[in-house]
């Protein structure tokens, strides 16, 4: 048997190279914007972008790695041509998506996602949108890149595929099976608590730098797989009379507004967000006494809102409601779409205009529910997450407990 142990690594590397080249083309195509980036920013685009690049490369490798395994346990099984055809059939559409994204980003300001599918049913509008695009240039780039990578596979990588086996051996079969299972790691993004998402590649307060790090096919498929497109209306409607009655009850007259609240024109602001809690345990809200002495003390010294309720049933929904004043959505959350959170108002942006320096402390994984991208889009000067603590401080699967976080604060 002529088994080539490096075939798994080389095929995975082939796709990583493709996505690295794709990022390079994106930066060159948008050189006017990219020229404002520092060398460190540019390096981080490729470094942080490896998370999604490796994830999508691993998805692609599932079929070839399965074939490698079958070849190791089935005599005279030829897989070379199958993998060549498979690779070509992927290179062509993925390159097309990559090139289409170049011009769509110029028009939309975000990387290709399921939004484009909405225009498939309006061909006239779609044709009008692309009529001003440099079609010849984009077509030339497409033909060049797809041709180079098809040639690269067939002339360089293909020869490293093992030849058919004439004798079944245990070691190659075990080796192939191990690498097939190992794909789970890059697909998921590692062994951390939260699976990979766009937040893993966000690293900067410069929106373009974060966008450049995104893997286009991963982003497109992820946006289709999100269950955000249920056409059934989840909302109950009230009559105009009932709706007006509820809305009017939310407003108070100006004569009932409190006077000056702060003694300082520019006080230090500390916003503590506490979730998974209940008023039943807070004495000043009529709950059990003695459980929250510090909250009760603060309530006596300031203003207590005793008739306020959580905006949603999930962390990410409540966070956007608190910091951006954005109402909870039923079947999805706006925080899952970084391109949308870029346009949200944010408490931190308002405070920055008043000369405040900001920090955001969280004892867990910031990538959870795309919180990291939301926070970076808000422009916080300093971010603290679980990775800023010693692993010995991790006393929860989510990270560190509140007292550990507050001690660092």
| Structure token digits, residue 195 | 């699976």
List of the chain residues with pLDDT < 50 = 1-2
Question: For 80-89, what is each residue's pLDDT tens digit?
Answer: 889 999 999 9
- How far is 24 from 17, CA to CA, in rounded Å? 11
- The pLDDT, as a whole number, for residue 192 is 81
Q: 3-state SS of 7-60?
A: HHHHHHHHHHHHHHHHHHHHHHHCHHHHCCCCHHHHHHHHHHHHHHHHHHHHHH
- The pLDDT, as a whole number, for residue 1 is 43
- The pLDDT, as a whole number, for residue 291 is 92
Q: 3-state SS of 349-362?
A: HHHHHCCCCCEEEC
DSSP state letter for 227 = S
* Strand 359-361, strand 382-384: pairing: parallel
**Could you tell me if 365 and 193 are in contact, meaning their C-beta atoms sit under 8 angstroms apart?**
yes
| Structure token digits, residue 368 | 């959870």
**Could you tell me if 331 and 227 are in contact, meaning their C-beta atoms sit under 8 angstroms apart?**
yes
pTM above 0.75, yes or no: no
- The pLDDT, as a whole number, for residue 226 is 72
- The pLDDT, as a whole number, for residue 41 is 95
- How far is 279 from 56, CA to CA, in rounded Å? 45
| Structure token digits, residue 344 | 């949200």
Q: What is the domain partition of the chain in residue ranges? A: 7-225, 276-307, 310-409
- The rounded Cα 101 to chain-centroid distance in angstroms is 18
Task: Let me know if 241 is exposed, middle or buried by CB neighbors in 10 A (0-12, 13-18, 19+).
Answer: exposed
CA geometry: angle at 32 spanning 26 and 35, to 5°? 85
Label residues 52-89 b or e (16+ Cβ within 10 Å = b): bbbbbbbbbbeebbebbbebbeeeeeebeeebbeebee
- The rounded Cα 358 to chain-centroid distance in angstroms is 23
- The pLDDT, as a whole number, for residue 369 is 77
């Amino acid at each position: 048997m002529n088994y080539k142990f490096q075939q798994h690594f080389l095929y995975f590397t082939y796709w990583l190279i493709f996505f690295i080249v794709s990022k390079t083309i994106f930066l060159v195509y948008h050189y006017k914007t990219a020229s404002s980036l520092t060398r460190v920013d540019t390096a981080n685009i490729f470094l942080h972008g490896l998370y999604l690049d490796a994830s999508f490369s691993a998805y692609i490798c599932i079929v070839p790695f399965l074939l490698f395994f079958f070849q190791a346990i089935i005599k005279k099984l030829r897989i070379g041509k199958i993998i060549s055809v498979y690779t070509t059939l992927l290179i062509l559409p993925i390159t097309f998506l990559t090139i289409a994204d170049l011009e769509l980003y110029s028009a939309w300001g975000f990387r290709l996602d399921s939004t484009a599918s909405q225009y498939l049913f309006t061909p006239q509008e779609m044709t009008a949108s692309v009529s001003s695009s440099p079609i010849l240039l984009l077509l030339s780039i497409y033909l060049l890149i797809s041709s180079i990578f098809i040639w690269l596979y067939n002339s360089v990588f293909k020869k490293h595929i093992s030849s058919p086996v004439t004798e079944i051996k245990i070691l190659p079969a075990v080796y192939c099976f191990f690498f097939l299972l190992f794909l789970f790691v890059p697909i998921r993004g590692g062994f951390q608590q939260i699976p990979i998402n766009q937040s893993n590649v966000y690293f900067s307060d410069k929106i373009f730098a974060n966008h450049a790090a995104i893997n286009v096919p991963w982003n497109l498929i992820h946006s289709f797989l999100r269950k955000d497109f249920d056409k059934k209306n989840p909302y109950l409607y009230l009559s105009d009379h009932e709706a007006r009655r509820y809305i009017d009850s939310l407003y108070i007259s100006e004569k009932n507004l409190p006077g000056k609240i702060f003694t300082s024109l520019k006080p230090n602001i500390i916003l503590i967000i506490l979730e998974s809690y209940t008023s039943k345990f807070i004495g000043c809200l009529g709950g059990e006494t003695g459980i929250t002495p510090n909250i009760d003390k603060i309530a006596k010294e300031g203003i207590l809102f005793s008739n306020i309720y959580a905006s949603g049933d999930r962390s990410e929904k409540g966070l956007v409601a608190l910091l951006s004043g954005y109402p909870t959505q039923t079947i999805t959350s706006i925080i899952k779409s970084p391109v949308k959170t870029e346009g949200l108002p944010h408490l931190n942006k308002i405070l920055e205009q008043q000369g405040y320096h900001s920090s955001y402390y969280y004892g867990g994984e910031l990538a959870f529910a795309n919180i990291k991208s939301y926070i970076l889009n808000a422009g916080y000067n300093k971010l603290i997450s679980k990775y800023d603590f010693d692993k010995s401080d991790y006393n929860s699967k989510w990270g560190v407990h509140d007292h550990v976080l507050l001690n660092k604060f």
